[in-house]
Amino acid sequence: MDFTRDETQDAVAEVATALLARELQPDALWAAFAEADLLTLALPERLGGEGLSVTDVGALLTEVGRAAAPIPALATLGFGVLPIVALGSDAQQDELLAGVAAGRVFTAALAEPGRQFPEQPAVTARKTGEKTGDRYRVNGTVLAVPFAASAHRVLVPTDVGVVLIDPNSAGVTLTPTPSSSGSPEFAIVLDDATGELLGAGTEALQTLYRIALASIGAVVDGLVSGAVDLTAAHIGSREQFGKPLATFQAVAQQIADAYVTSRTLHVVSLSASWRVSEGLDAQSDLDVMAYWIAQEVPATMQVLHHLHGGLGVDVTYPLHRYYGAAKDLARLLGGASHRLDLVGARCSSI
């Protein structure tokens, strides 16, 4: 494949970069993204969108990651809009996506207690008995749900498929939980909560997971690239013993290793995203990408902190945003050991 961005992706990235450079507060930045029509890129043309692919939207998410912007772009686009477009009926898309242009937020519950991206979810869904619509009673607990309190709907994997839950409805209890980045994250207990079926069966779950993983890869690609650029600028201007830090061999070796991690992640995340967009088998690429994120990215961020010295832990300096967001996403993926087990299981089944 050609890893060069096409004209559409370049245009999307250019607009996003211009908005991110304004260094707006999160709410104002999210409103600016909505006003610039960046949130509707993946919507079908009949709903005023451009019908862009996972890879195209990934160009936007990568720039959000490169700036470590604390906005619900990943949750809304990667965990919500793209899966709804892939799984939802026209009627569901019309109803759910109508508010995206104004900044409507979506999210997904991708983790249960001790289980991430579960292939056989413990959350149960049973028909309500109503004659109209695919309405279900949903029971279970999910964790690490970003921006759940502000979301219009939460996409919840269940034993029957992906179900849409209104986080403000009866039977839904949100409990704030800590995150490394400080971004809002919640545990959700569902007690006979009413939901609507978005997509039935295992294939619907896998579609949600594939799109979510590809979107996570796009964001982390930007996070690592942005953190490497930030560190390179620092060691190029900061002097010790009358010389820039970058001229010291030990420093140069460490930033070089970080750069290799960044470029490797870029290649594998873009390959995985492209395969998802083209409807090809992307699971091997996604598994390798997720393992690389969980294994290498937190360690690389730690090295970049080290190269900054005391400045790296200053909350008025942006590096902590990159490290925090990367740690949160590595945790959401289940950690390196879990991801390595999945890679090994896939290799042993070939």
Question: How many angstroms separate the Cα of 109 from the Cα of each of 14, 41, 241?
Answer: 31, 23, 51
Q: Cβ contacts of residue 252 below 8 Å, gap of 6+? A: 246
Mean pLDDT (the chain) is 94
The span from the CA of 101 to the CA of 11, in Å, is 18
Q: Are residues 263 and 232 in the same domain?
A: yes
Q: Which residues pair with 164 in a beta bridge?
A: 155, 196
Q: Are residues 247 and 181 in the same domain?
A: no
Which pairs count as long-range contacts for 118-121, CB under 8 Å and 24+ apart, including other chains?
A: 118/157, 119/202, 119/205, 120/159, 121/157, 121/158, 121/159, 121/205
The span from the CA of 231 to the CA of 236, in Å, is 8
DSSP 74: I
Q: Are residues 49 and 163 in the same domain?
A: no
- pLDDT > 90 in the chain, percent: 85
pLDDT tens digits along 85-95: 999 999 999 99
Exposure of 289 in the CB half-sphere (CA atoms within 13 A): 29
DSSP 336: H
Q: Does the pLDDT at position 244 exceed 80?
A: yes
For residue 87, is it within any domain?
yes
* End-of-domain residue from the set 152, 181, 201: 201
Q: Which residues pair with 126 in a beta bridge?
A: 137
* End-of-domain residue from the set 201, 231, 256: 201
Q: Are residues 88 and 116 in the same domain?
A: no
For residue 1, is it within any domain?
no
**Minimum mean pLDDT range among 139-143, 153-157, 340-344:** 340-344
List the one residue out of 86, 36, 324 whose CA is nearest residue 205: 86
* End-of-domain residue from the set 77, 105, 133: 105
pTM listed for this prediction: 0.95
Q: Does the pLDDT at position 306 exceed 80?
A: yes
Contact (CB, 8 A) for 210 and 286: yes
Helix (H, G, I), strand (E, B) or coil at 49: coil
**Domain that residue 254 falls in:** 204-348
Q: Are residues 142 and 253 in the same domain?
A: no
